[in-house]
Amino acid sequence: MRDSGFPMVAYLIRRAPGMRAVVRDRNYKFKGRLPASLTWVASAIAPMIFEHVPTGGCQSYLVGCEETRAAVLIDPEITQLDRYLGLAAHNGLHVRYLLDTHTHADHFTATAELRRRLEVPIVMHRDSPAPFVDMRVDDGEMIALGRLRLRVLHTPGHTRDSMCLVVEDRVFTGDTLLIGATGRTDLPSGDPEALYDSLFERLLRLDPALKVFPAHEYKGRSHSTLAQEAAENPRLQQRERAGFVAMMRNLNLTMPKHITEALRVNMSGGRSVAQLLAEAGARVPFMSLAELHGHVQAASPGLVILDVREREAFERGHVPGARLLPRGQLELRVNTELPDPTQRILAYCELGQISTFAAATLRDMGYQRAVALDGGMQAWRAAGYPVAV
């Protein structure tokens, strides 16, 4: 949607120093001249399309130039892929850049997957450890987005590769500055001394009226301003370096969930387990427990029921009529176990995840009637269906 934060009379035409700026409205109609006493003459404010996508505590942003429809996705998160693409299409935007403000340790970036789909560059700071970054940027540089300019401010501290992006009336602060907090400095490449410099020597020296849009916000607030944060953010009240650093070193925060996997994925461009599962799940149909029960009762000869768990689990109890073929042996044993590729095959496991991978593998191998159980042995037992031993 069009951002309503801009005043109606918002367009100033750049003038040579000393000349008075001409003020025009959205349609470039002449609205008068600024008083000569105003010294901040003439920075053009370009109209922006702005979408904010919260995912739990993670915040991502779609920013587009209204005139040219070029857009950037900032800190996209993997579970929101379809939403981002839908929002871009809804707004008539062409996503030109995928940008991470830093290497995230607590959620999975969608930049690598979106690049596979959109074939546009991934932008990160020069110090990013990720080998898949296409466009490395440095402090003071700008990313051109039609009439918009995103200015890079290198703000290490939360991570070494953290950057903030200033565009028009707002600043995307990543995890350098949050609403009422700051990013933590105890994760890989974090440095409280650097964060102090980034906050007090860089960020807080910008225009206090700039709106702050962080990468995390857990209380549902959309944004604040630098002035508000300087006045009210408890961590920014520690204005002395030593006090600030000591405070950051003594936060004793718990480690984020999935930190190992998040760093692996975000630093390598690889896929998370959830992503692999979602991709496998998108390629196979599922069968309900009740439908399978119907087949078991009818002793359907046309359905091969394949238990893909390990032998021990199978022997403790399985779906009546099921055959054992553990997932780990699937590829090597299909030729002898499943000689007919036209057979209808139902794969199940304990929880319904391994069987999804198994059914996808079977489909890859030519078993075009392979399906996965929607649920697993655990749900089968819980539903009171018969168990054979």
Among candidate residues 300, 373, 304, 295, the one with its CA nearest the CA of residue 338:
304
Q: Are residues 26 and 11 in contact, defined by beta-carbon separation less than 8 angstroms?
A: yes
Stretch that binds Fe ion, among 138-146, 168-176, 203-211, 288-296 (CB under 5 A): 168-176
Question: What's the min distance (Å) between Cβ of 1 and Fe ion?
Answer: 27
Stretch that binds Fe ion, among 1-9, 175-183, 198-206, 276-284 (CB under 5 A): 175-183
235 vs 295, beta carbon nearer Fe ion: 235
Selected binder of Fe ion within 100, 175, 191, 350 (CB under 5 A): 175
Question: What's the min distance (Å) between Cβ of 54 and Fe ion?
Answer: 15
Question: What's the min distance (Å) between Cβ of 127 and Fe ion?
Answer: 14
Residues 6+ apart with CB under 8 A from 78: 107, 108, 109, 110, 113, 272, 274, 275
| Interface size with Fe ion, residues (CB under 5 A) | 2
Per-residue x/- marks for Fe ion, 103-142, CB under 5 A? -x--------------------------------------
Q: Are residues 229 and 223 in contact, defined by beta-carbon separation less than 8 angstroms?
A: no
Strands 286-287 and 370-373: parallel
Q: Per the structure block, which two tokens stand in for 363? A: 């489909």
Rounded to whole angstroms, the Cα distance separating 97 from 117 reads: 12
173 vs 356, beta carbon nearer Fe ion: 173
102 vs 170, beta carbon nearer Fe ion: 102
| Residue list 87-106, contact with Fe ion (CB under 5 A) | 104
For every residue of 216-263, DSSP letters joined together read B-SS----EEHHHHHHH-GGGG--SHHHHHHHHHT--PPPPTTHHHHH
Is position 217 an interface residue for Fe ion (rule: CB under 5 A)? no
Q: Are residues 376 and 351 in contact, defined by beta-carbon separation less than 8 angstroms?
A: yes
Question: What's the min distance (Å) between Cβ of 138 and Fe ion?
Answer: 20
Question: What's the min distance (Å) between Cβ of 128 and Fe ion?
Answer: 13
168 vs 175, beta carbon nearer Fe ion: 175
Place of tokens 């700008």: 142
190 vs 376, beta carbon nearer Fe ion: 190
111 vs 356, beta carbon nearer Fe ion: 111
CA distances from 211 to 203, 224, 274 (A): 12, 6, 34
Chain residue whose CB lies nearest Fe ion = 175
- Which residues of this protein are in contact with Fe ion, per CB under 5 A? 104, 175
